[in-house]
Structure 1
Protein backbone atom coordinates (compact mmCIF):
# COMPACT_ATOMS: atom_id res chain seq x y z
CA UNK A 1 0.00 0.00 0.00
CA UNK A 2 1.13 3.50 -0.79
CA UNK A 3 2.69 5.34 2.16
CA UNK A 4 0.33 7.94 3.63
CA UNK A 5 1.91 11.31 4.39
CA UNK A 6 1.07 12.79 7.80
CA UNK A 7 -0.46 16.26 7.89
CA UNK A 8 -2.19 18.63 10.28
CA UNK A 9 -4.94 16.66 11.97
CA UNK A 10 -8.50 17.66 11.06
CA UNK A 11 -11.79 16.46 12.47
CA UNK A 12 -13.65 14.51 9.77
CA UNK A 13 -17.10 12.95 9.88
CA UNK A 14 -17.56 10.03 7.48
CA UNK A 15 -21.02 8.76 6.55
CA UNK A 16 -21.20 5.37 4.85
CA UNK A 17 -18.48 2.76 5.43
CA UNK A 18 -19.44 0.15 2.88
CA UNK A 19 -17.34 -1.40 0.12
CA UNK A 20 -15.72 1.92 -0.82
CA UNK A 21 -16.25 4.01 2.29
CA UNK A 22 -14.46 1.77 4.79
CA UNK A 23 -11.03 1.83 3.08
CA UNK A 24 -11.41 5.56 2.43
CA UNK A 25 -12.09 6.26 6.11
CA UNK A 26 -9.16 4.01 6.98
CA UNK A 27 -6.75 6.06 4.89
CA UNK A 28 -7.91 9.28 6.54
CA UNK A 29 -7.41 7.80 10.01
CA UNK A 30 -4.00 6.40 9.10
CA UNK A 31 -2.96 9.89 8.03
CA UNK A 32 -3.63 11.11 11.56
CA UNK A 33 -7.04 12.73 11.12
CA UNK A 34 -9.66 12.41 13.85
CA UNK A 35 -12.37 10.43 12.13
CA UNK A 36 -15.86 9.69 13.39
CA UNK A 37 -18.11 7.44 11.31
CA UNK A 38 -21.69 6.34 11.00
CA UNK A 39 -22.97 3.42 8.99
CA UNK A 40 -26.46 1.97 8.89
CA UNK A 41 -24.88 -1.40 9.68
CA UNK A 42 -22.37 -0.55 12.47
CA UNK A 43 -20.56 -3.89 12.16
CA UNK A 44 -19.13 -2.79 8.80
CA UNK A 45 -17.14 -0.09 10.59
CA UNK A 46 -15.78 -2.11 13.50
CA UNK A 47 -12.43 -2.84 11.82
CA UNK A 48 -11.70 0.91 11.92
CA UNK A 49 -11.81 1.14 15.72
CA UNK A 50 -8.15 0.04 16.27
CA UNK A 51 -7.12 3.06 14.16
CA UNK A 52 -8.76 5.43 16.61
CA UNK A 53 -11.93 5.89 14.58
CA UNK A 54 -15.05 6.45 16.67
CA UNK A 55 -18.28 4.75 15.59
CA UNK A 56 -21.30 6.91 16.38
CA UNK A 57 -24.86 5.69 16.91
CA UNK A 58 -26.39 8.48 14.82
CA UNK A 59 -25.21 10.36 11.72
CA UNK A 60 -25.79 13.63 13.55
CA UNK A 61 -23.33 12.61 16.26
CA UNK A 62 -20.76 11.62 13.63
CA UNK A 63 -20.72 15.08 12.02
CA UNK A 64 -21.08 17.32 15.09
CA UNK A 65 -18.22 19.85 15.33
CA UNK A 66 -16.44 18.37 12.29
CA UNK A 67 -14.53 20.62 9.89
CA UNK A 68 -15.16 18.23 7.00
CA UNK A 69 -18.00 15.78 6.43
CA UNK A 70 -17.70 13.12 3.72
CA UNK A 71 -20.78 11.28 2.48
CA UNK A 72 -20.34 7.96 0.64
CA UNK A 73 -23.84 6.54 0.21
CA UNK A 74 -25.52 4.55 -2.54
CA UNK A 75 -27.74 7.04 -4.37
CA UNK A 76 -29.25 10.50 -4.66
CA UNK A 77 -32.47 9.64 -2.79
CA UNK A 78 -30.50 8.07 0.06
CA UNK A 79 -28.28 11.17 0.30
CA UNK A 80 -31.30 13.48 0.19
CA UNK A 81 -33.08 11.49 2.89
CA UNK A 82 -30.10 11.76 5.23
CA UNK A 83 -29.04 15.33 4.48
CA UNK A 84 -32.47 16.93 4.29
CA UNK A 85 -35.19 14.69 5.73
CA UNK A 86 -33.03 13.50 8.65
CA UNK A 87 -31.62 17.04 8.96
CA UNK A 88 -27.95 16.08 8.82
CA UNK A 89 -27.18 19.48 7.29
CA UNK A 90 -28.67 21.13 10.36
CA UNK A 91 -26.32 19.14 12.60
CA UNK A 92 -23.21 20.37 10.78
CA UNK A 93 -21.14 23.33 11.95
CA UNK A 94 -21.35 26.58 9.98
CA UNK A 95 -18.42 27.07 7.59
CA UNK A 96 -17.69 23.35 7.61
CA UNK A 97 -17.30 21.57 4.26
CA UNK A 98 -19.64 18.86 3.04
CA UNK A 99 -18.15 16.55 0.40
CA UNK A 100 -20.69 14.25 -1.25
CA UNK A 101 -18.67 11.50 -2.91
CA UNK A 102 -21.69 9.43 -3.93
CA UNK A 103 -22.76 9.16 -7.56
CA UNK A 104 -25.96 11.22 -7.69
CA UNK A 105 -27.86 13.16 -10.37
CA UNK A 106 -26.44 16.54 -11.38
CA UNK A 107 -29.61 18.37 -10.36
CA UNK A 108 -29.55 16.64 -6.97
CA UNK A 109 -26.03 17.92 -6.31
CA UNK A 110 -27.04 21.42 -7.35
CA UNK A 111 -30.06 21.37 -5.04
CA UNK A 112 -27.98 20.06 -2.13
CA UNK A 113 -25.43 22.80 -2.75
CA UNK A 114 -28.16 25.43 -2.47
CA UNK A 115 -29.49 23.90 0.76
CA UNK A 116 -25.99 23.76 2.22
CA UNK A 117 -25.30 27.40 1.31
CA UNK A 118 -28.50 28.48 3.09
CA UNK A 119 -27.01 26.99 6.26
CA UNK A 120 -23.56 28.49 5.80
CA UNK A 121 -22.02 25.17 4.78
CA UNK A 122 -19.56 24.74 1.89
CA UNK A 123 -20.58 22.05 -0.57
CA UNK A 124 -18.58 19.95 -3.01
CA UNK A 125 -19.84 17.07 -5.14
CA UNK A 126 -16.89 14.72 -5.58
CA UNK A 127 -17.83 11.32 -7.05
CA UNK A 128 -15.05 8.82 -7.59
CA UNK A 129 -13.93 6.14 -10.02
CA UNK A 130 -11.53 3.31 -9.37
CA UNK A 131 -13.54 0.74 -7.48
CA UNK A 132 -12.75 -0.93 -4.19
CA UNK A 133 -9.07 -1.43 -5.05
CA UNK A 134 -8.68 2.24 -5.88
CA UNK A 135 -10.20 3.10 -2.50
CA UNK A 136 -7.79 0.73 -0.74
CA UNK A 137 -4.73 2.04 -2.61
CA UNK A 138 -5.70 5.72 -2.53
CA UNK A 139 -5.67 5.97 -6.32
CA UNK A 140 -9.27 7.02 -6.97
CA UNK A 141 -10.08 9.50 -9.71
CA UNK A 142 -12.02 12.21 -7.86
CA UNK A 143 -14.13 14.59 -9.95
CA UNK A 144 -15.08 17.71 -8.00
CA UNK A 145 -17.78 20.31 -8.52
CA UNK A 146 -18.22 23.42 -6.40
CA UNK A 147 -16.41 26.61 -5.49
CA UNK A 148 -12.71 26.47 -6.41
CA UNK A 149 -11.67 28.09 -3.11
CA UNK A 150 -13.59 25.49 -1.13
CA UNK A 151 -11.91 22.78 -3.20
CA UNK A 152 -8.47 24.20 -2.44
CA UNK A 153 -9.26 24.10 1.28
CA UNK A 154 -9.84 20.34 1.32
CA UNK A 155 -7.62 19.20 -1.57
CA UNK A 156 -4.87 17.87 0.77
CA UNK A 157 -7.44 15.59 2.41
CA UNK A 158 -8.81 14.42 -0.93
CA UNK A 159 -5.28 13.64 -2.14
CA UNK A 160 -5.10 10.96 0.56
CA UNK A 161 -7.87 9.18 -1.31
CA UNK A 162 -6.68 9.67 -4.88
CA UNK A 163 -6.29 12.28 -7.60
CA UNK A 164 -8.81 15.11 -7.15
CA UNK A 165 -9.60 17.39 -10.09
CA UNK A 166 -11.78 20.49 -9.88
CA UNK A 167 -14.18 20.48 -12.85
CA UNK A 168 -16.42 23.51 -12.32
CA UNK A 169 -19.45 24.69 -10.30
CA UNK A 170 -21.71 22.47 -8.21
CA UNK A 171 -22.92 19.46 -10.20
CA UNK A 172 -19.88 19.41 -12.49
CA UNK A 173 -18.28 16.54 -10.60
CA UNK A 174 -21.39 14.44 -11.06
CA UNK A 175 -21.51 15.36 -14.75
CA UNK A 176 -17.92 14.16 -15.16
CA UNK A 177 -18.78 10.95 -13.29
CA UNK A 178 -21.68 10.27 -15.64
CA UNK A 179 -19.31 10.66 -18.58
CA UNK A 180 -16.92 8.27 -16.84
CA UNK A 181 -19.65 5.71 -16.25
CA UNK A 182 -20.81 5.86 -19.85
CA UNK A 183 -17.26 5.13 -21.02
CA UNK A 184 -16.85 2.30 -18.49
CA UNK A 185 -20.20 0.68 -19.32
CA UNK A 186 -19.68 0.91 -23.07
CA UNK A 187 -16.12 -0.40 -22.76
CA UNK A 188 -17.27 -3.38 -20.67
CA UNK A 189 -19.82 -4.25 -23.34
CA UNK A 190 -17.25 -3.99 -26.14
CA UNK A 191 -14.63 -6.06 -24.27
CA UNK A 192 -17.28 -8.71 -23.58
CA UNK A 193 -18.22 -8.85 -27.26
CA UNK A 194 -14.55 -9.11 -28.26
CA UNK A 195 -14.06 -12.06 -25.91
CA UNK A 196 -17.15 -13.80 -27.29
CA UNK A 197 -15.86 -13.24 -30.84
CA UNK A 198 -12.47 -14.73 -29.94
CA UNK A 199 -14.08 -17.74 -28.29
CA UNK A 200 -16.46 -18.42 -31.17
CA UNK A 201 -13.66 -17.98 -33.71
CA UNK A 202 -11.34 -20.43 -31.95
CA UNK A 203 -8.78 -18.06 -30.36
CA UNK A 204 -7.66 -18.27 -26.73
CA UNK A 205 -9.27 -15.18 -25.10
CA UNK A 206 -6.63 -15.04 -22.34
CA UNK A 207 -3.83 -14.88 -24.91
CA UNK A 208 -5.78 -12.34 -26.94
CA UNK A 209 -6.15 -10.04 -23.92
CA UNK A 210 -2.40 -10.27 -23.27
CA UNK A 211 -1.61 -9.53 -26.92
CA UNK A 212 -3.75 -6.39 -26.90
CA UNK A 213 -1.91 -4.82 -23.96
CA UNK A 214 0.01 -1.73 -25.03
CA UNK A 215 -1.98 -1.24 -28.21
CA UNK A 216 -4.74 1.28 -28.92
CA UNK A 217 -7.35 -1.10 -27.44
CA UNK A 218 -5.55 -1.32 -24.11
CA UNK A 219 -7.38 0.02 -21.07
CA UNK A 220 -8.07 -0.69 -17.41
CA UNK A 221 -11.38 -2.22 -18.46
CA UNK A 222 -9.63 -4.52 -20.96
CA UNK A 223 -7.03 -5.69 -18.44
CA UNK A 224 -9.09 -5.86 -15.24
CA UNK A 225 -12.58 -6.71 -16.43
CA UNK A 226 -11.40 -8.76 -19.38
CA UNK A 227 -9.60 -11.02 -16.91
CA UNK A 228 -12.72 -11.20 -14.74
CA UNK A 229 -14.74 -12.27 -17.76
CA UNK A 230 -12.43 -15.05 -18.94
CA UNK A 231 -11.99 -16.39 -15.40
CA UNK A 232 -15.72 -16.06 -14.63
CA UNK A 233 -14.91 -14.16 -11.42
CA UNK A 234 -17.78 -11.78 -10.80
CA UNK A 235 -17.23 -11.04 -7.12
CA UNK A 236 -18.26 -7.39 -7.09
CA UNK A 237 -15.72 -4.62 -7.12
CA UNK A 238 -18.46 -2.47 -8.63
CA UNK A 239 -21.90 -4.16 -8.58
CA UNK A 240 -23.86 -4.15 -11.82
CA UNK A 241 -26.86 -2.55 -10.08
CA UNK A 242 -24.73 0.54 -9.31
CA UNK A 243 -23.49 0.71 -12.89
CA UNK A 244 -27.09 0.54 -14.09
CA UNK A 245 -28.10 3.29 -11.66
CA UNK A 246 -25.48 5.56 -13.21
CA UNK A 247 -26.28 4.69 -16.83
CA UNK A 248 -29.98 5.33 -16.10
CA UNK A 249 -29.06 8.73 -14.65
CA UNK A 250 -26.95 9.53 -17.71
CA UNK A 251 -29.78 8.55 -20.07
CA UNK A 252 -32.27 10.70 -18.14
CA UNK A 253 -29.95 13.69 -18.39
CA UNK A 254 -29.39 13.05 -22.11
CA UNK A 255 -33.16 13.08 -22.68
CA UNK A 256 -33.48 16.32 -20.73
CA UNK A 257 -30.75 17.84 -22.91
CA UNK A 258 -32.40 16.43 -26.07
CA UNK A 259 -29.33 14.36 -26.89
CA UNK A 260 -29.43 11.10 -28.83
CA UNK A 261 -26.81 8.64 -27.48
CA UNK A 262 -27.58 5.38 -29.31
CA UNK A 263 -24.55 3.37 -28.17
CA UNK A 264 -24.97 4.25 -24.49
CA UNK A 265 -28.72 3.67 -24.75
CA UNK A 266 -28.18 0.13 -26.05
CA UNK A 267 -25.64 -0.68 -23.33
CA UNK A 268 -28.01 0.71 -20.71
CA UNK A 269 -30.70 -1.70 -21.95
CA UNK A 270 -28.24 -4.63 -21.71
CA UNK A 271 -27.47 -3.76 -18.09
CA UNK A 272 -31.21 -3.55 -17.43
CA UNK A 273 -31.59 -7.09 -18.81
CA UNK A 274 -28.72 -8.28 -16.60
CA UNK A 275 -30.40 -6.82 -13.51
CA UNK A 276 -33.76 -8.39 -14.40
CA UNK A 277 -31.96 -11.74 -14.86
CA UNK A 278 -30.77 -11.58 -11.25
CA UNK A 279 -27.23 -10.28 -11.84
CA UNK A 280 -27.51 -6.98 -10.00
CA UNK A 281 -25.18 -7.95 -7.17
CA UNK A 282 -22.52 -9.36 -9.50
CA UNK A 283 -19.60 -7.27 -10.73
CA UNK A 284 -20.52 -5.11 -13.72
CA UNK A 285 -18.18 -7.20 -15.87
CA UNK A 286 -20.88 -9.91 -15.56
CA UNK A 287 -22.52 -8.16 -18.51
CA UNK A 288 -20.80 -10.85 -20.56
CA UNK A 289 -23.28 -13.31 -19.06
CA UNK A 290 -26.16 -11.37 -20.55
CA UNK A 291 -24.44 -11.32 -23.93
CA UNK A 292 -23.93 -15.08 -23.65
CA UNK A 293 -27.67 -15.43 -23.03
CA UNK A 294 -28.35 -13.37 -26.17
CA UNK A 295 -26.14 -15.66 -28.21
CA UNK A 296 -27.64 -18.75 -26.65
CA UNK A 297 -31.08 -17.62 -27.74
CA UNK A 298 -29.80 -16.86 -31.23
CA UNK A 299 -28.26 -20.34 -31.50
CA UNK A 300 -31.51 -21.98 -30.42
CA UNK A 301 -33.44 -19.94 -32.98
CA UNK A 302 -31.07 -21.06 -35.77
CA UNK A 303 -31.32 -24.71 -34.71
CA UNK A 304 -35.13 -24.57 -34.62
CA UNK A 305 -35.41 -22.79 -38.00
Structure 2
Protein backbone atom coordinates (compact mmCIF):
# COMPACT_ATOMS: atom_id res chain seq x y z
CA UNK A 1 0.00 0.00 0.00
CA UNK A 2 1.34 3.41 -1.00
CA UNK A 3 0.71 6.30 1.38
CA UNK A 4 0.99 10.09 1.12
CA UNK A 5 1.00 12.66 3.92
CA UNK A 6 0.18 16.36 3.61
CA UNK A 7 1.42 18.64 6.39
CA UNK A 8 4.71 17.93 8.12
CA UNK A 9 4.66 20.35 11.02
CA UNK A 10 4.92 19.70 14.74
CA UNK A 11 2.61 16.68 14.52
CA UNK A 12 2.88 15.62 10.89
CA UNK A 13 6.68 15.28 10.86
CA UNK A 14 6.92 12.54 13.53
CA UNK A 15 3.74 10.91 12.21
CA UNK A 16 5.41 10.62 8.80
CA UNK A 17 8.45 8.95 10.33
CA UNK A 18 6.28 6.32 12.00
CA UNK A 19 4.28 5.63 8.83
CA UNK A 20 7.51 5.23 6.84
CA UNK A 21 8.63 2.41 9.14
CA UNK A 22 5.91 0.21 7.63
CA UNK A 23 4.79 1.75 4.33
CA UNK A 24 6.12 3.38 1.19
CA UNK A 25 5.51 7.08 1.85
CA UNK A 26 5.45 10.38 -0.02
CA UNK A 27 5.09 13.77 1.66
CA UNK A 28 3.97 17.26 0.70
CA UNK A 29 4.13 20.53 2.63
CA UNK A 30 3.34 24.01 1.37
CA UNK A 31 6.70 25.12 2.80
CA UNK A 32 9.08 22.59 1.26
CA UNK A 33 11.84 23.27 3.81
CA UNK A 34 9.67 21.85 6.60
CA UNK A 35 10.05 18.41 5.03
CA UNK A 36 13.84 18.50 5.14
CA UNK A 37 15.15 15.55 7.11
CA UNK A 38 12.35 13.18 6.12
CA UNK A 39 14.36 11.90 3.17
CA UNK A 40 16.60 10.13 5.71
CA UNK A 41 13.65 7.84 6.41
CA UNK A 42 13.26 6.93 2.72
CA UNK A 43 10.30 9.29 2.35
CA UNK A 44 9.83 10.84 -1.09
CA UNK A 45 9.48 14.63 -0.84
CA UNK A 46 6.96 15.99 -3.36
CA UNK A 47 6.80 19.49 -4.82
CA UNK A 48 3.15 19.23 -5.87
CA UNK A 49 -0.09 17.62 -4.76
CA UNK A 50 -0.32 16.00 -8.17
CA UNK A 51 2.95 14.10 -7.68
CA UNK A 52 1.90 13.08 -4.18
CA UNK A 53 -1.46 11.77 -5.41
CA UNK A 54 -0.07 9.70 -8.28
CA UNK A 55 -0.42 5.96 -7.57
CA UNK A 56 -1.24 6.67 -3.92
CA UNK A 57 -3.79 4.48 -2.11
CA UNK A 58 -4.12 6.42 1.15
CA UNK A 59 -3.60 10.15 1.67
CA UNK A 60 -3.31 11.60 5.17
CA UNK A 61 -3.47 15.28 6.09
CA UNK A 62 -2.45 17.04 9.31
CA UNK A 63 -3.22 20.73 8.80
CA UNK A 64 -3.83 23.83 10.99
CA UNK A 65 -7.59 24.12 10.49
CA UNK A 66 -10.75 24.18 8.40
CA UNK A 67 -9.58 26.69 5.78
CA UNK A 68 -6.44 24.71 4.94
CA UNK A 69 -8.29 21.37 4.84
CA UNK A 70 -10.98 22.65 2.45
CA UNK A 71 -8.32 24.24 0.22
CA UNK A 72 -6.33 20.99 0.01
CA UNK A 73 -9.42 18.87 -0.69
CA UNK A 74 -10.53 21.22 -3.49
CA UNK A 75 -7.07 21.06 -5.05
CA UNK A 76 -6.42 17.36 -4.66
CA UNK A 77 -9.83 16.30 -6.02
CA UNK A 78 -8.40 17.02 -9.47
CA UNK A 79 -5.59 14.48 -9.01
CA UNK A 80 -6.83 11.82 -6.59
CA UNK A 81 -7.38 8.43 -8.17
CA UNK A 82 -10.62 6.47 -7.86
CA UNK A 83 -10.75 4.34 -4.71
CA UNK A 84 -8.22 6.38 -2.76
CA UNK A 85 -9.06 7.00 0.89
CA UNK A 86 -8.27 10.49 2.18
CA UNK A 87 -7.84 10.62 5.96
CA UNK A 88 -7.89 14.07 7.54
CA UNK A 89 -6.29 13.97 10.99
CA UNK A 90 -6.63 17.72 11.59
CA UNK A 91 -9.09 19.16 14.11
CA UNK A 92 -11.94 20.84 12.22
CA UNK A 93 -15.62 21.59 12.43
CA UNK A 94 -18.01 18.71 11.84
CA UNK A 95 -19.43 20.64 8.87
CA UNK A 96 -15.97 20.69 7.27
CA UNK A 97 -15.71 16.90 7.54
CA UNK A 98 -19.16 16.57 5.98
CA UNK A 99 -18.23 18.87 3.09
CA UNK A 100 -14.97 17.02 2.38
CA UNK A 101 -16.78 13.68 2.44
CA UNK A 102 -19.27 14.89 -0.20
CA UNK A 103 -16.56 16.38 -2.44
CA UNK A 104 -14.52 13.17 -2.57
CA UNK A 105 -17.55 10.89 -2.92
CA UNK A 106 -18.25 12.72 -6.18
CA UNK A 107 -14.76 11.66 -7.31
CA UNK A 108 -15.42 8.01 -6.35
CA UNK A 109 -12.96 8.35 -3.48
CA UNK A 110 -13.57 8.22 0.25
CA UNK A 111 -12.98 10.54 3.18
CA UNK A 112 -12.44 9.77 6.84
CA UNK A 113 -12.21 12.38 9.57
CA UNK A 114 -9.72 11.07 12.13
CA UNK A 115 -8.52 13.76 14.54
CA UNK A 116 -6.05 12.78 17.24
CA UNK A 117 -5.18 13.34 20.87
CA UNK A 118 -1.79 12.88 22.46
CA UNK A 119 0.17 15.88 21.26
CA UNK A 120 3.70 15.89 19.85
CA UNK A 121 4.80 13.28 22.42
CA UNK A 122 2.13 10.86 21.22
CA UNK A 123 3.00 11.60 17.59
CA UNK A 124 6.64 10.74 18.24
CA UNK A 125 5.93 7.55 20.19
CA UNK A 126 3.20 6.35 17.83
CA UNK A 127 0.65 6.26 20.65
CA UNK A 128 -1.93 8.79 19.44
CA UNK A 129 -5.60 8.29 20.24
CA UNK A 130 -7.23 8.34 16.80
CA UNK A 131 -11.00 9.01 16.62
CA UNK A 132 -12.37 8.11 13.20
CA UNK A 133 -15.63 8.88 11.44
CA UNK A 134 -16.61 7.48 8.06
CA UNK A 135 -17.59 4.39 6.09
CA UNK A 136 -16.61 1.11 7.74
CA UNK A 137 -15.07 -0.39 4.57
CA UNK A 138 -12.90 2.69 4.05
CA UNK A 139 -11.79 2.62 7.69
CA UNK A 140 -10.81 -1.04 7.49
CA UNK A 141 -8.77 -0.29 4.36
CA UNK A 142 -6.65 2.30 6.20
CA UNK A 143 -6.71 0.87 9.73
CA UNK A 144 -3.23 -0.67 9.49
CA UNK A 145 -1.82 2.68 8.30
CA UNK A 146 -3.44 4.46 11.24
CA UNK A 147 -2.07 1.82 13.60
CA UNK A 148 1.44 2.94 12.63
CA UNK A 149 0.62 6.22 14.41
CA UNK A 150 -1.49 5.09 17.33
CA UNK A 151 -4.75 3.47 18.37
CA UNK A 152 -7.58 4.04 15.85
CA UNK A 153 -11.27 3.54 16.67
CA UNK A 154 -14.17 3.95 14.25
CA UNK A 155 -16.64 5.97 16.34
CA UNK A 156 -19.43 6.26 13.78
CA UNK A 157 -20.33 7.73 10.37
CA UNK A 158 -18.76 10.73 8.70
CA UNK A 159 -18.23 13.60 11.17
CA UNK A 160 -18.16 11.34 14.24
CA UNK A 161 -14.38 11.61 14.55
CA UNK A 162 -14.59 15.39 14.83
CA UNK A 163 -17.46 15.14 17.34
CA UNK A 164 -15.31 12.80 19.43
CA UNK A 165 -12.37 15.21 19.28
CA UNK A 166 -14.62 18.02 20.51
CA UNK A 167 -15.72 15.81 23.40
CA UNK A 168 -12.07 15.01 24.10
CA UNK A 169 -11.24 18.71 24.21
CA UNK A 170 -14.06 19.41 26.66
CA UNK A 171 -12.51 16.91 29.06
CA UNK A 172 -8.95 18.16 28.46
CA UNK A 173 -9.86 21.85 28.86
CA UNK A 174 -12.01 21.36 31.96
CA UNK A 175 -9.42 19.05 33.54
CA UNK A 176 -6.58 21.51 32.92
CA UNK A 177 -8.67 24.11 34.72
CA UNK A 178 -9.35 21.75 37.63
CA UNK A 179 -5.66 20.84 37.92
CA UNK A 180 -4.70 24.53 37.86
CA UNK A 181 -7.10 25.27 40.72
CA UNK A 182 -5.72 22.35 42.73
CA UNK A 183 -2.08 23.42 42.22
CA UNK A 184 -2.90 27.03 43.15
CA UNK A 185 -4.79 25.93 46.27
CA UNK A 186 -1.78 23.86 47.35
CA UNK A 187 0.70 26.68 46.71
CA UNK A 188 -1.36 29.30 48.56
CA UNK A 189 -1.84 27.09 51.61
CA UNK A 190 1.69 25.82 52.16
CA UNK A 191 1.21 22.31 50.78
CA UNK A 192 3.90 20.99 48.43
CA UNK A 193 2.17 20.55 45.05
CA UNK A 194 4.77 17.97 43.95
CA UNK A 195 3.97 15.86 47.00
CA UNK A 196 0.25 16.41 46.41
CA UNK A 197 0.61 14.87 42.94
CA UNK A 198 2.50 11.94 44.44
CA UNK A 199 -0.10 11.55 47.22
CA UNK A 200 -3.06 11.19 44.84
CA UNK A 201 -1.22 8.93 42.41
CA UNK A 202 -3.38 5.91 41.66
CA UNK A 203 -6.52 7.56 43.04
CA UNK A 204 -9.57 8.89 41.19
CA UNK A 205 -7.94 12.32 40.69
CA UNK A 206 -4.82 10.88 39.04
CA UNK A 207 -4.27 11.08 35.30
CA UNK A 208 -2.05 12.26 32.49
CA UNK A 209 -3.15 15.89 32.74
CA UNK A 210 -2.40 16.02 36.47
CA UNK A 211 0.99 14.35 35.99
CA UNK A 212 2.06 16.25 32.85
CA UNK A 213 0.28 19.60 32.86
CA UNK A 214 0.31 19.82 36.63
CA UNK A 215 4.07 19.46 36.68
CA UNK A 216 4.45 22.17 34.03
CA UNK A 217 2.32 24.50 36.16
CA UNK A 218 4.53 23.86 39.17
CA UNK A 219 7.65 24.48 37.05
CA UNK A 220 6.03 27.50 35.35
CA UNK A 221 6.87 25.85 32.04
CA UNK A 222 4.45 27.27 29.50
CA UNK A 223 6.39 26.42 26.32
CA UNK A 224 3.74 25.30 23.85
CA UNK A 225 2.94 21.65 23.29
CA UNK A 226 -0.71 22.53 22.73
CA UNK A 227 -1.31 26.25 22.12
CA UNK A 228 -3.98 28.36 23.82
CA UNK A 229 -5.11 29.67 20.42
CA UNK A 230 -5.65 26.10 19.23
CA UNK A 231 -7.64 25.14 22.31
CA UNK A 232 -9.73 28.30 21.96
CA UNK A 233 -10.54 27.23 18.39
CA UNK A 234 -11.64 23.85 19.75
CA UNK A 235 -13.80 25.43 22.48
CA UNK A 236 -15.43 27.68 19.87
CA UNK A 237 -16.21 24.64 17.73
CA UNK A 238 -17.56 22.75 20.76
CA UNK A 239 -20.03 25.49 21.60
CA UNK A 240 -21.05 25.95 17.96
CA UNK A 241 -21.70 22.22 17.63
CA UNK A 242 -23.70 22.21 20.87
CA UNK A 243 -25.71 25.28 19.83
CA UNK A 244 -26.74 23.63 16.57
CA UNK A 245 -28.40 20.89 18.62
CA UNK A 246 -29.87 23.22 21.24
CA UNK A 247 -27.47 22.00 23.93
CA UNK A 248 -26.12 24.18 26.76
CA UNK A 249 -22.57 23.46 27.99
CA UNK A 250 -21.98 25.93 30.85
CA UNK A 251 -18.61 24.56 31.98
CA UNK A 252 -17.28 24.57 28.42
CA UNK A 253 -18.46 28.18 28.09
CA UNK A 254 -16.46 29.13 31.19
CA UNK A 255 -13.32 27.44 29.85
CA UNK A 256 -13.81 29.12 26.46
CA UNK A 257 -13.87 32.52 28.14
CA UNK A 258 -10.67 31.75 30.04
CA UNK A 259 -8.82 30.71 26.89
CA UNK A 260 -10.15 33.82 25.13
CA UNK A 261 -8.81 36.00 27.96
CA UNK A 262 -5.39 34.35 27.68
CA UNK A 263 -5.29 34.91 23.90
CA UNK A 264 -6.49 38.50 24.23
CA UNK A 265 -3.73 39.10 26.80
CA UNK A 266 -0.98 38.03 24.39
CA UNK A 267 -0.55 34.43 25.55
CA UNK A 268 -2.09 32.80 22.47
CA UNK A 269 1.10 30.84 21.69
CA UNK A 270 1.70 29.63 25.25
CA UNK A 271 0.85 26.07 26.26
CA UNK A 272 -2.74 25.49 27.32
CA UNK A 273 -1.52 24.62 30.81
CA UNK A 274 -1.04 28.39 31.18
CA UNK A 275 -4.71 28.36 32.13
CA UNK A 276 -2.93 28.33 35.50
CA UNK A 277 -1.97 31.99 34.89
CA UNK A 278 -5.51 33.02 34.04
CA UNK A 279 -6.88 31.45 37.23
CA UNK A 280 -4.00 32.80 39.35
CA UNK A 281 -4.80 36.34 38.22
CA UNK A 282 -8.52 36.22 39.00
CA UNK A 283 -9.55 38.75 41.64
Length-normalised TM-score, structure 1 = 0.91
Alignment of 1:82-161 (within 5 A): 82-84=72-74, 87-161=75-149
User: Among 78, 81, 94, which residue is 2:68 paired with?
Assistant: 78
The residue that corresponds to 2:31 in the other structure is: 41
> Per the alignment, in what secondary structure is the counterpart of residue 78 of structure 2?
helix
Equivalent pairs counted in the alignment come to 283
Instruction: Determine helix, strand or coil for the equivalent of 2:112.
Output: strand
Partner of 1:3: none
Deviations 1:84-134 (A, max 9, x none): 1xx212211110110000011111101110111000111111000000010
1:205 aligns with 2:177: no
Q: Answer with 1 or 2: which has the greater Rg.
A: 1
Q: 2:204 aligns with which of 213, 216, 220?
A: 216
> What is the root-mean-square deviation of aligned Cα atoms in Å?
1.0
Q: How many angstroms apart in 1 are the aligned matches of 2:269 and 2:9?
A: 14
Moved over 4 A (4+): none
Structure 2: runs of 5+ lacking an equivalent: none
Deviation at 1:64, TM superposition (A): 2.2
Please list every run of 5 or more consecutive structure 1 residues that lacks an aligned counterpart in the other structure: 1-9, 299-305
| Aligned equivalent of 2:55, options 31, 55, 65 | 65
- How far is the alpha carbon of 1:234 from its aligned partner? 1.6
Q: Does 1:29 align with 2:29?
A: no
Question: Hey, what's the Cα distance between the residues in 2 that align with 1:59 and 1:197?
Answer: 52
Offset at 1:239? 1.3
- Say which SS state the counterpart of residue 144 (structure 1) adopts: strand
2:33 and 2:85 mapped to 1: Cα distance? 27
Q: Distance in 1 between matches of 2:270 and 2:34?
A: 20
Q: Does 1:283 align with 2:283?
A: no
* CA distances 1:164-221 after superposition (whole Å, capped 9, x unpaired): 0001100000000000001000000110011111111111111111111111001111
Report what 2:260 is aligned to. Answer: 272
Q: How far apart, in 2, do the equivalents of 1:205 and 1:60 lie? A: 53
* Structure-1 residue corresponding to 2:219: 231
Aligned partners of 1:14 and 1:63 also within 8 Å = no
The separation in 2 between residues aligned to 1:232 and 1:244, in whole angstroms, is 21
Q: How far off is 1:163 after superposition?
A: 0.5
Q: Does 1:13 align with 2:4?
A: yes
Per the normalisation by structure 2, the TM-score is 0.98
Whole-angstrom distance in 1 between the partners of 2:31 and 2:268: 21
Specify the alignment match of 1:302 in structure 2.
Answer: none
Once residues 16 and 289 of structure 1 are traced to their aligned partners in structure 2, the CA distance between those partners, rounded to angstroms, is: 32
